């Protein structure tokens, strides 16, 4: 059973936090005073680096949790065990996902299914086991999903990714309506082109042409948007999509 102190703590789970945007979000929320749980799938070294950075910045080392977000049975089992031992989460950031880009006729069935499974099924597999404990805790809470500008406007070569991220926005808006009376907000952050490994092989000259600010965004700028949604000032904001994108929309 969780102790009284554990029940009162504001624990936050960030999925896909072993690097990139997820790591930046976890670090920012730790600096904001939340008790972080860092999720990773296979990159233990990256997760350890995130934990080291958080410990250095906040003086508190986050917990690590490992599972594949596409494995529904394992997600449910591990998260239910975690909640039983440590109490309900106050917040969750559904960030884990992947992409496999190609023109639509060349997207293989495996690439289609895999991208939807990691981005959209992963949201369901992680968030669903955590919602009712949040409700029963009667402390409100925050749910933030990391979508993409592709989920708003589409993008050439990303029909699978755009479909998954658009579905994520719709799901977030739906649960926002369900949970609003519980003081649990649900919002989505849909970044534009962010300087991460995802753009390693992208044609940056062409990308910069379509960004009014003429630069890529940073993971820290995405994290700052999430930080706002976790702040007291965002308590009345739910079912919304915030898109740090340099003016593209």
Would you name the residues annotated as active-site residues?
Answer: 161
Of 65, 54, 1, the C-alpha closest to 31 is 54
Angle at 34 between CA 28 and CA 39, to 5 degrees: 75
Instruction: Name residue 12's beta-bridge partners.
Output: 36, 91
How many CB atoms are closer than 10 A to CB 202? 12
Asked if 188 and 222 touch (Cβ cutoff 8 Å), the reply is no
Q: Rounded distance, CA 191 to CA 211, Å? A: 12
Phi, psi angle pair for 18, to nearest 5°: -85, -5
CB atoms near residue 227 (< 10 Å): 18
Length of the chain: 249
Q: What is the dihedral of CA 53, 54, 60, 64, to 10 degrees?
A: -100
Task: Strands of 98-210 (E only): list them.
Answer: 141-146, 184-189
C-alpha Rg value of the chain to the nearest Å: 17
């Amino acid at each position: 059973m969780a102790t009284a102190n554990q029940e009162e703590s504001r624990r936050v789970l960030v999925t896909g936090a072993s690097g990139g945007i997820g790591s930046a979000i976890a670090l920012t929320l730790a600096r904001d005073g939340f008790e972080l749980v860092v999720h990773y799938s296979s990159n233990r070294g990256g997760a350890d680096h995130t934990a080291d950075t958080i410990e250095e910045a906040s003086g508190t080392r986050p917990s690590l949790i490992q599972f594949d977000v596409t494995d529904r049975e394992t997600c449910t089992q591990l998260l239910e065990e975690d909640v039983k031992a440590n109490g309900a989460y106050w917040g969750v950031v559904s960030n884990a996902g992947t992409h496999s880009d190609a023109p639509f006729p060349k997207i293989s069935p495996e690439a289609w299914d895999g991208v939807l499974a990691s981005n959209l099924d992963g949201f369901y597999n992680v968030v669903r086991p955590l919602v009712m404990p949040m409700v029963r805790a009667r402390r409100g809470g925050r749910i933030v999903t990391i979508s993409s500008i592709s989920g708003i406007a589409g993008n050439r070569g990303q029909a699978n990714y755009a479909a998954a991220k658009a579905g994520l926005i719709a799901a977030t808006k739906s649960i926002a309506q369900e949970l609003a009376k519980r003081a649990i907000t649900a919002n989505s952050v849909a970044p534009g082109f962010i300087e991460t490994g995802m753009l390693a092989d992208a044609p940056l000259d062409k990308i910069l042409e379509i960004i009014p600010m003429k630069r890529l965004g940073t993971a820290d700028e995405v994290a700052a948007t999430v930080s706002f949604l976790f702040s007291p000032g965002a308590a009345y904001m739910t079912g919304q999509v915030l898109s740090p994108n340099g003016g593209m929309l």
